[in-house]
Amino acid sequence: MPKSRVVVLPGDGIGPEVAREARLVLEQLCPEVQLEEQLLGGAAIRATGEPLPQATVDACLAATAVLKGPVGDPEFDAADVRPEQGLLGLRAALDTYANLRPAVLGDVDVLIVRELVGGLYFGASGTREDGTVFDTCEYTPRQVERIVRRGFELARGRRRKLTSVDKANVLETSRLWRRIVDETAPRYPDVEYEHMLVDNAAMQLATTPQQFDVLVTENMFGDILSDLAAAVTGGLGLAPSASLSDGGAGLFEPVHGSAPDLAGRGIANPTAILRSTALLLEHGLGLPEQADALRTAIDAAIAAKPTPDLGGTATTDELGTAVREQLTVDGARVPSYGG
């Protein structure tokens, strides 16, 4: 069998600091997996002039899975070429249309399923002669059908409740969305489903998140709601995501950004990228045992060595080391790399 290949894109700001911890964990847990680093975002613009160099696209298309740190740097805030364009281009190139964002804490266990390659972030945009600036939200029926099906499938594997979030009282795209959800539902009679307007969904997530199992929604609503879900389940430093296509390499990344306020200080919480690594092990490499081992090690390590965002004083490196020290599979400690 050919070796699995994981492309690591460290990204910008705190990206390289937290990606380093993820890489060390992967090396320890599955030394047989081939790791390769490529450039994306601001780091890529500095080196090549482009936020998504062709070499990065080619490596990701040939990979088994991609592990990505955050991109974005204030240095490029006023520039025409921005790091975030590289991220959107990569999602489109891999066609990772299904973004899974689990948010778990105590009795809250929500999975946000966000459409990732359509809608407002990918529609036509520009400036007219009179100074009007516009962005366009478009969805094809196929784009909606495939993400809605994913939502139902994922709900079927969990508590069998799906909440579809839209703004059908105002938006045409939302009315298409709602119609497709209603047409798809009869194929999943074992899944209970409901529609919810996005403004109400935000309020319900903030006040009674326990009521939700799977939420399925379009790109921008999902972007905003998943940060909210992260906030009510421990903060951005903890929130992972998996972006899946139909058969191609998945993209695994933390929900948070490059945190320019923390970059270079060695105190960013690596948990979100480590939890994304657990999703990569499970969904990208088909190694559920290693994924569980990593999740257990992370939970134990953050209880013992919390970083400043969790009220503690541990550095990125100290928490990462604690995770690696806790790693066990089948009750046996996984030796540190080379140990």
Given the rule CB under 6 A, which residues bind ligand NAD?
14, 18, 70-72, 84, 87, 236-237, 253, 256-262, 268-269, 272, 309
DSSP 65-131: EEEE-----GGGTT-SS-HHHHHHHHHHHHT--EEEEEEEETTEEEEEEEE-SSGGGTS-EEE-TTS
CB 118 within 8 A of CB 140: yes
Q: Find the shortest distance in angstroms from Cβ 241 to ligand NAD.
A: 8
- Catalytic annotation, pick one of 97, 121, 188, 193: 121
Q: Shortest gap between Cβ of 207 and ligand NAD (angstroms)?
A: 22
Instruction: Give the nearest distance from C-beta 87 to ligand NAD in angstroms.
Output: 5
Angstrom distance (rounded) from CA 97 to CA 275: 20
Our answer to whether residue 68 is catalytic in this structure is: no
H or E element that contains 199: helix 198-207
Q: Identify whether 330 is a catalytic site residue.
A: no
Angle at the Cα of 325 from the Cα atoms of 18 and 333, rounded to 5 degrees? 130
Select which of 12, 73, 166, 223 is catalytic: 223
Minimum CB distance to ligand NAD smaller for 227 or for 292: 227
107 as an active site residue: the answer is no
- CB closer to ligand NAD, 218 vs 253: 253
Catalytic residue among 68, 97, 166, 167: 167
Instruction: Identify each DSSP E strand in the chain by its residue range.
Output: 5-9, 34-37, 65-68, 98-105, 108-115, 125-127, 133-135, 161-166, 192-197, 214-217, 240-244, 250-254, 328-329, 332-333
Catalytic residue (choose from 199, 246, 261, 337): 199
State the pairing for strand pair 65-68/250-254.
parallel
Nearer to ligand NAD, 68 or 324 (CB): 68
Nearer to ligand NAD, 53 or 70 (CB): 70
Residue 56 beta carbon to ligand NAD: minimum distance, rounded to whole angstroms:
14
Identify which of residues 287 and 319 has a Cβ nearer to ligand NAD in the complex: 319
190 given a catalytic annotation: no
Q: Could you tell me which of 127, 204, 133 has the C-alpha nearest to residue 163?
A: 204
Residue 254: CB minimum distance to ligand NAD, A: 7
227 is catalytic: yes
Active site (catalytic) residues: 121, 167, 199, 223, 227
